[in-house]
Every structure is written in C-alpha cells, then in structure tokens.
Structure 1
C-alpha cells in the first residue's frame, strides 16, 4: 500500500511542479444512487455527475477519494444502481485514486461492506463494520503515514452494546464512543512512531450541531437526539462529514461535501461541489471546493395554466425539472399533460385556488382531494415533500385499513 501511495505522490510532484508535495484527498458523500426525483429515475444524471468526479480526480492528481456514506438511496439497491456505483468506482480507480467509502443511514452496511477484504487489494476500501472503526486505512507519502478512519452511520439501539454504552440511546453517545476508540488507536500509533508525525483523517455519517439540513435528508432520529456536537471530533486533522446535502464548513477542517445532485426543489440554488484537501508534513495545508456540473437545473413556476404555457420568459427553462403551482380559479383538467407538452420534465404539480383575501376553511381546501394527495399535503406541512416510496407505504396502509374494515 505504501508503494502505491509513494508513486502517486511522485506523480503529483511532477504535475504540480513542486520540490516536495502533498497527499491530495477528495471528499464526497451522499451519492444516493438509485434515488428517484418525484418518480423520475435519476440514474443517468447520477452516472454523469459521478463521471465528472472521476475527471476531477484525474485533472487534479487526486491520491485518495473519501466517500462519507449513503452510496445508495436504499438498503436493497437495484441491479442498475449497483452497476452505476461499480462503474463510478472503476472510473475513479482508473483516474489514479484509491477509494475509502463508508455506509450511511440509507445503506445496508452489510451489503456495502461485502467483499471488503477482496476489494481493498484493488484500492477500494469499504469500511462499514463497527469492529473496524479503530482500524484505519494507512497510506504513505514522503512524509510518512496518513491514517484514514471511517465511522459508518451508527444507529444507537443497534450499536450501543458493541460500543460499550448500553445505557445511552443518543447519537452523541455512540459517535463519542467511536471517536474514543479512534483516539486510543491514534495514541498507540504515535507511541510507536518513534517521533514521526501521524496525520489523521476521519470520515463520519452524522448530523453535527450547527450544520444546516435541506429538504431531502431522511431523519436519523429514532427515539433519541439525532445531533452530535462538533467537539466530538476534536484533535483530528480533517473530518469529512456525510448525511447533509448542502456543502458547508463547520470549521476549517470539519466539513460536509453535500450530495453531488440536488434531491429536492429546496436545493435548486445550491452549488454542488467536492472538497479537495492537501495534506503536508504536519496536516492540512490547503482546502478548496471544486464545483460539480448542473446536470439538469430545477425551477419552480407559478401562475394560471394558460399563462405558463404561453409565457415567452419561460423559454429558457423548458428543459429543467419543473415544479408548477397553478393559481387558476378552477382546477384545470389534465394540467400535467398540458404542462409536459411545453415542459417535458415537469415532475411536481400543485393547485392553489386564489382566495382573494377570503379565508378558506380546511374542509373547503380539502374537498375533492384524494387520500394520497391529502397524505402528501399533511407530510409537506409536518415533515417535507415526500418521495413516491413514502406515499406508496401510506397507500398500502390505507388499503390494509380498508381491507380490515371490509372484513
């Protein structure tokens, strides 16, 4: 492993024109491969943006790509989703980087981590086991080792026994216990390093206090507090966070990379990016963002149907994913079909009757609305815009109640 990393560093010295050079790391997360956007398959969009990440690896002589969880959007991804992920890994390895990936709350840690012992030999390190939290991937450059630790998503009720905090149910407790193991391993390595610096990099899938969520993340709280304080990660050279979809920094060396694509209309103004981190002799020497392409922009339009279909000012967005809010006095018939004739990627449609200052009661607003739409509006008011999978579960529940009533 050290020989591979030394070769990468020599290559970077030549490309960057430097006498001594750094280990360059790319931080990404939350690919959510297999996700749908209001029922639309995003695999082609995901394939395109992941190919761009591989190009960034090649263009910037990246040595290591760290992926901080939520490779997939569900625990049992489709065969097509697995193929897109595998192709992305191959492209990144062909571009010259090793890969260190962990699992998120959307993933199955067991499935993502299967075959890890074999893939590591080819430069793909899948770190998903609690028992391996304090076993880093150690890569070397001219300055010595960099220890890469990975904390997968930790569900407190599942892992608290293994982590030795059986009386705690909070995310803070289990992540703190995980970092305790990591710090003990770091200290042991420093004691055995004969005075040579041990540089450290931790990736984690968690919701850290002070970070800003968006509409498209799934809550990770099940009967406990989902956030963890940033201080849990003190003493590490860089912390690569996953789970929240907006690129953001909590401090200079504690950051979220965000998702590579927008997964809700609330993210339509986000600038999606990856972080490039340079490690020198004693730790981080430089961090910069590299923006990712907008594969298909998102836009919201509002107005009466006829106006939206005729407005010349909307010509530039006909190829966008569209969320349309209709304000016609009477709900138009077959409005989605009409909108898609002009905006073929319309994915969300709502109707808001103009109230003209008159307060309209809840019963009137819900008159004629289907059970599915009523459930959708309730979830928007109390949670977020639901995915089709969420609404399908609700419809199944409605069907079960109806069947029980018939019996």
Structure 2
C-alpha cells in the first residue's frame, strides 16, 4: 500500500507584509501545489492522497477559494483524495464542509471524512482509514483515542489521520489544544499515523509523522524545513512504513537575521548573499533580515540603489527590518554647494541630527532623504 501524506494547504491564506502582486502569487502557489501533489501521486504509483486537515485557511472562504482545490483534485480522477477537517476549517454546522456538501461540487474522487470511525479505502489491500474529526477549532480531548478499540478485519492495514498537537511536542499556547497521544500508533495498532498542524516535516516516531505544509508559508517554519509532501509505502500491517520526503513547494523563505552594513563591500556582499539563495530563480525567494550599521553618503546611495530597489525587484519579497544610519559631516555638505537654500537646510538638519534624541532621529532621516534626492536629481540631469 503506497499513499501520499500531506496537510496544511491553507488555501486562501493572506500575507500582510507583501504587496498585492506578491500576495496574489503566493496565494496562487498554495492552489497550484495541489496539482503538484497529484502528479507526485501518479509518478509514485500511489492511488490515495491523505490530507490531514487545514485544507482551507478559514471556515468561510469565498466561492472561488472554496472550489479551487476541488477543481485541482478533479483533474486527477485516478487518484482518491481523503480530506479531514483541521483547526482552521473545523467541521462546524455552518462551516466549509457543510457548505461543500450542501452546494455540491465535490468530485467523485474526493472523499470528505467528517465523522470518526474506520473506513475501508482499499478493498484489495484490506486498508482502513481511521480519521479523527475536529468539530470545532479547539478541543481538550484526544480525538484519536477511539482508534485504540476501533474494529477492523484481521490483518487489516490501519492508517490514522489526525490534526493536532502531539503531547509534549510543542511548548507554545497553540500546542495545548487538540492534544494527541505520542504513542497512539502503538496503542491503536496503526501501521501509520499521518498528522497535520505542524507546518514543517517532523517524524515523531517510526509510525507517526507530520508532513508539514507542501508550500512554505512563513519565515519561522520550525525544525525540519517545509514545502514537502510525504510518500509512504506500507509492505504489511505490521511492517514499519517506508517514508520518503519529496519537495513540492515553489517558494523559498529565508530569515537571515541581523546584518550590519558599514561599507560598500558589505552592501555588495549582502546582495550576493541573497541572490545566491537561488541563483537561477530569484523570483521564488522571500527574505527577511534586520539591517543596521552606519554608511557614508555614497554608500547610502549605493544601498538604496542596489538593495532597496534592484534586489527588492529581483526577489519575490525583501522584508527589511531597520535601516542603516547615515554617517555625514560638514565635508559631505559640499555636494550641495557653498551656499543656497538647500545647503542651509542641510546644515540645519545636520546640527539637529548631531543633537540626538527623537528630533535628531527625524532630522537624520530627513538629511538622508535629502542626500539621496540630490544624488538622484544630478543623475537625471546628466
């Protein structure tokens, strides 16, 4: 029995730190990854795809968002897709699953498992799926507990599917909800327990795995990486599963931490570092870094040109926290000429900047803008 395990598609997710163009591109890839998963299943000879919850980001998606994943799965009529609710799309009375059933449009090869209990998904191989079903976003009970005594025929391959937090695995507030026993696969005699909720791949034990989201969606994806889908091969009811990780994500998210810039060499090095993440596909890179340091007038102009304009245009998203400070003195004001209104304004700003404090910070930024504007205007005139 070979099948695909995935979770946390989060169709309809929004990203508040990107522009509209990038927003649309990120959302589109969350839909298109469904097609890549279908191709993976075909290539691997897997007849079933098990999706461990959070297919949708919200319980009330727009009509277009509601049907987008359904239509992608419809394209793979030879593959059976098995879906369970997650904490983002719980099976509430007026939620997304009730709406799909009421309005129709669920392809024949897509199976919505909205009730707990063993379901035979492959008669020839005697394979039974045991879904855990969230009826609301947060519960305190372990919804996989019923699997311990759920009846299946002798010799059956028992596969559990659940969405939640393995006890003692996480330490944040979210990890206290929807608890799952760490030894559920052993206690319930499961050949495999496929989990959703954690967005990075993580193998809890020999028979229990979080698949992670197939398309990375944040800079803090956690241990194990992300953007992957699992192919699981079970040779028999008691045999240990063979688990393979396959890359399905399009975008690469990199959090580079703190970068201090003090010279042109530092600026060129930062540019090369970001472009080196994917030399042949910079448009698929999202980077977040914190910038600090002191730059002279010419180096600040280089930073604005090379980093905040050209590099930002090269990658999908360049998220900059902080900014280098301008290191300017009286000699630098000579670029404005010996006299005139601009020179006098620059002298006033420099004096205020050197005084420090809140007004000094504003003056420093204003002086920086003045230098950059002056340099740009000279370039345009030339």
Shift of 1:80: 4.0
- 1:179 and 2:130 matched: no
Shift of 1:141: 4.1
- 1:290 and 2:290 matched: no
Q: Could you state the TM-score of these two structures normalised by the residue count of structure 2? A: 0.66
Task: Look up the SS of the partner of 2:49 in the other structure.
Answer: strand
Q: Could you state the TM-score of these two structures normalised by the residue count of structure 1? A: 0.63
Shift of 1:225: 5.5
- 1:198 and 2:181 matched: no
Shift of 1:279: 3.2
Q: Which runs of 5+ in 1 are unaligned?
A: 1-22, 158-169, 191-195, 355-363, 370-407
Shift of 1:53: 1.0
CA 61–248 in structure 1, closer or farther in 2 if over 3 Å, else same = same
Equivalent residue number for residue 131 of structure 2: 150
Equivalent residue for 1:313, pick from 251, 265, 272 = 272
Aligned equivalents of 2:324 and 2:311: distance in 1? 23
Aligned equivalents of 1:83 and 1:257: distance in 2? 23
CA 282–299 in structure 1, closer or farther in 2 if over 3 Å, else same = closer
Equivalent residue number for residue 24 of structure 1: 2
- Per-residue displacement from partner, 1:65-122 (whole Å, max 9, x unpaired)? 100001011222234433431233223x33x221110111111423135445977881
- 1:138 and 2:120 matched: yes
- 1:84 and 2:84 matched: no
Task: Look up the SS of the partner of 2:150 in the other structure.
Answer: helix
Equivalent residue number for residue 102 of structure 1: 84
CA contact (8 A) 1:242 1:256 kept: yes
Aligned equivalents of 2:244 and 2:42: distance in 1? 16
Shift of 1:155: 4.4
Aligned equivalents of 2:294 and 2:211: distance in 1? 44
- 1:273 and 2:228 matched: yes
Equivalent residue number for residue 73 of structure 1: 57
Aligned equivalents of 1:73 and 1:306: distance in 2? 44
Q: Name the Cα RMSD after superposition.
A: 3.7
Equivalent residue number for residue 242 of structure 1: 196
Task: Look up the SS of the partner of 1:86 in the other structure.
Answer: helix
Shift of 1:228: 3.4
Q: Which runs of 5+ in 2 are unaligned?
A: 326-356, 363-382
Shift of 1:283: 4.5
CA 114–321 in structure 1, closer or farther in 2 if over 3 Å, else same = same
